Chain A
Amino acid sequence: MSYLELVHLFKSYGSVMAVQDVNLQIPAGEFISLLGPSGCGKTTILRMIAGFEKTTGGSILLEGQDITHIPANRRDMGMVFQSYSLFPHMTAGQNIAFGLRVKRLSHGQQRIRVHEMLELVGLSGMGDRYPHQMSGGQQQRVALARALAISPRLLLLDEPLSALDAKVRLQLRNEIRRIQQQLDITTLFVTHDQEEALSISDRVVVMSQGRIDQAGTPEEIYLTPSTAFTASFIGAMNQIPGVWEGEQVRVSAHPNTQIPDEFLRTQTMEISNGTNVLVLVRPESITVLRPEDSIPADYNLLSGLVTSRIFLGSVVRLSVLVGEFYLNVDVPTAQAEQFTSGQVVQLGFPADQCRVLAIAPAAPQSALPHKQVRSVV
């Protein structure tokens, strides 16, 4: 049975639908991330679970108990906020002890627990510092310790790392994961950083415009996106529009050129002929072929014109104009030197690396902007 359950959850602010029909089941001990662009309703969901925001519709069940209308201070949830939220007039230790004091633990018990918590978040000996004497990262650690001290039923984290610089961020996110696993506490983590979500979650919930777009393990989300939105939001993804014709996809050539239509072989799918589809290929799945390369049988071959290159560290991302669309192609930096703008290259990618998404002809809720260039970086 699931530990936390969101059932047909709705939230509107006047005419703004912030959260629409969100259903989610979270087993105990799971680390789940809500991921999505700004304004998609992540914070709103978290705040409804915490009890800071009334629901417009639906219910929230915790261990089978309906907590939808229980006030925030009786929900027993640990929350860490995006902005620094330590009580400024209390030391780190006093901050951590606050919830324990509310619970009427004895002074001795409080002291032991505070010590334990400071150790857990790697701040032993800093209990006497005031918030203004600590760095942002340290403050968020204390906030985490304060939330965890009361042994909450859920840990809620609303972009706790977004005010920190890159290095501290990376370090702290791994530590959050370590602590979560150590305590085996069910955790909801809100972020708009996909790398963050993919790297530390058991499951990622991708959200768009108040709805859940796709939920799954990080691998599922990355490798088998089931919507155009998730495909474009997670990582770089080439999206090539075409028409499903049996075993292959017809990709229309540009009307102004004499180049014939191309056909792409893809993963096999159960789609009726004539359906409009998107072919999804990751830039790292595409190879630039040299004349001497032997070409595997299941490869799709396309030729195109290199129009630009972006250095990304370990790879160089080429933008290649193929027919009427651009493809992003990642080549290892060591081999990238030979490719320059204006050069014609031969691209190849295996059929099983091409996912196909059927798109309804007039999808009302299509998350995809209606523009011609379908390659999203």
Chain B
Amino acid sequence: MTIAPLTSPPAHAPAQTADRPKKGTWRLVLIAALLIYIFIPIVGLLRFSTRAANGISFQFYRDAFADPSFYSFLGNSLFAGLWTIAITLTLTTFTLYWAYLKARWLLPLMEMLSLLPFVVPAVTLGIGLIQVFTTPPLALTGTPQLLIGAYAIVTLPFAYRAVENSLQGANVLTLTEAAESLGASWWRIFIEIILPCVWSGVISGGLLVFSFVFGEFTLALFLVGSSYQTFPLYIQQLYSYQPQYSVVMSLLSFVATWLAAWLLVVFTRGKN
């Protein structure tokens, strides 16, 4: 939703000629309102984080980035994000490819299953996972493995949609058979033929997954809490004793997410 101004710039407005001036104006007003709605909090954050006795200062930024724990938290989030991407996308891409080849009838069911994570609230999932994973054979609470596992499930809908879209466009079955008749092995076909065809879907799925993980709070709080702190947990923690730092961090998180969204737009547009 927040991407709207990027994908459809107000370029429409000048195209509207005299016969419908009102509609053009309204559109401009709406877009302006949306931008204000999005940017006012950011401007507030910016002001708050740069306020100093003698005007503007970037001291908080310098200090925040100088804090070594910042890098360890950022590293944790990156680690979780990359692993989640790897697991979710590998799972989805392989499974979907297989289903497209051998079991198309499974697709509607898979689609439904892939949406399940949307239906289960994060709190429920978190508490549920804790219940299962605290007793000895499966004592994983507090480990990044459990968090990444949970993320891999929760981000399934993003990855599924993105990969499925691009598989749909490619004529997977015929391409596979053509490559097969040319002697190619299954792996070769997957790596050299199918993956390049669905690459844009994999990338955009990856970016969606990443921005989700980068901002996820609830599951991290429940599953790992203080033992494996991710970036959002860090922000929350900072907030109680160094609010300005936490503001700097949320701005950073915001920028990262927007960057991901922007890349997403670039990728999906480039393919069409």
Residues in chain A within 8 A of chain B (CB atoms): 50-52, 72-79, 81, 83-85, 87-89, 98-99, 102-103, 143, 146-147, 150, 152, 156
Contact = CB atoms under 8 A, between A and B. Distances in A.
Contacts of A73: 180-185
B171 A83 contact: yes
A150 to B, nearest CB: 6
A81 B192 CA distance: 20
Interface in B164-220: 170-171, 174-175, 177-185, 188, 192-193, 196-197
A75 B181 contact: yes
Contact of A52 (B170, B175, B177, B192): B177
A177 B184 CA distance: 27
A103 B183 contact: yes
A79 B185 CA distance: 16
B193 A72 contact: no
Given A87-B197, A102-B188, A147-B181, 6 more contacts: A51-B181, A73-B180, A74-B183, A81-B174, A87-B193, A147-B182
A89 B196 contact: yes
Contact of A85 (B178, B183, B196): B178
Nearest to A146: B182
Contact of B181 (A79, A83, A87, A89): A79
B180 A52 contact: yes
B113 to A, nearest CB: 26
Nearest to B195: A89
Contact of B177 (A72, A74, A76, A146): A72
Contact of A87 (B175, B177, B183): B175
Contact of B182 (A51, A52, A83, A102): A102
B181 A98 contact: no
A88 B271 CA distance: 12
Contact of B175 (A75, A76, A85, A102): A85
A102 B183 contact: yes
Nearest to A147: B181
Interface of B: 170-171, 174-175, 177-185, 188, 192-193, 196-197
Contacts of B181: 50-51, 72-73, 75, 77-79, 147, 152, 156
The 3 closest A-B pairs by CB, nearest first: A99-B182, A79-B181, A89-B196
Contacts of B179: 87, 98
Given A88-B170, A89-B197, A72 B175 contact: no
13 contacts: A50-B181, A52-B177, A73-B184, A74-B183, A76-B183, A79-B178, A84-B171, A85-B178, A87-B179, A88-B170, A89-B197, A99-B184, A103-B183
B175 A79 contact: no
Contacts of B177: 50, 52, 72, 79, 81, 85
B197 A81 contact: no
Nearest to A81: B174
Contacts of A146: 178, 182
Contacts of B182: 73, 98-99, 102, 146-147, 150
Contact of B180 (A72, A84, A88, A150): A72
Nearest to A152: B181
B74 to A, nearest CB: 35
Contacts of B180: 51-52, 72-73
Contacts of A152: 181
A121 to B, nearest CB: 16
A150 B183 CA distance: 9
Contacts of A78: 181
Q: Identify the interface centre among B178, B179, B188: most chain A CB within 10 Å of its CB.
A: B178
Contacts of A84: 171
A130 to B, nearest CB: 12
Contacts of B183: 73-74, 76, 99, 102-103, 150
Nearest to A100: B182
B178 A81 contact: yes
Q: Identify the interface centre among B180, B183, B184: most chain A CB within 10 Å of its CB.
A: B183
Nearest to A102: B183
A284 B272 CA distance: 54
Nearest to A72: B180
A84 B184 CA distance: 19
Contacts of A74: 183
Contacts of A85: 171, 174-175, 177-178
A72 B180 CA distance: 6
Contacts of A83: 171, 174
A53 to B, nearest CB: 10
Nearest to A75: B181
A102 B181 CA distance: 11
Nearest to B169: A88
Contacts of B197: 87-89
Nearest to A149: B182
A52 B182 CA distance: 13
A122 B178 CA distance: 21
A52 B179 CA distance: 12
A79 B179 CA distance: 10
Contacts of B184: 73, 98-99, 102
Contacts of B193: 87
Contacts of A102: 182-184, 188
A209 B155 CA distance: 49
Contacts of A79: 177-178, 181
Contacts of B188: 102
Nearest to A77: B181
B168 to A, nearest CB: 14
B133 to A, nearest CB: 42
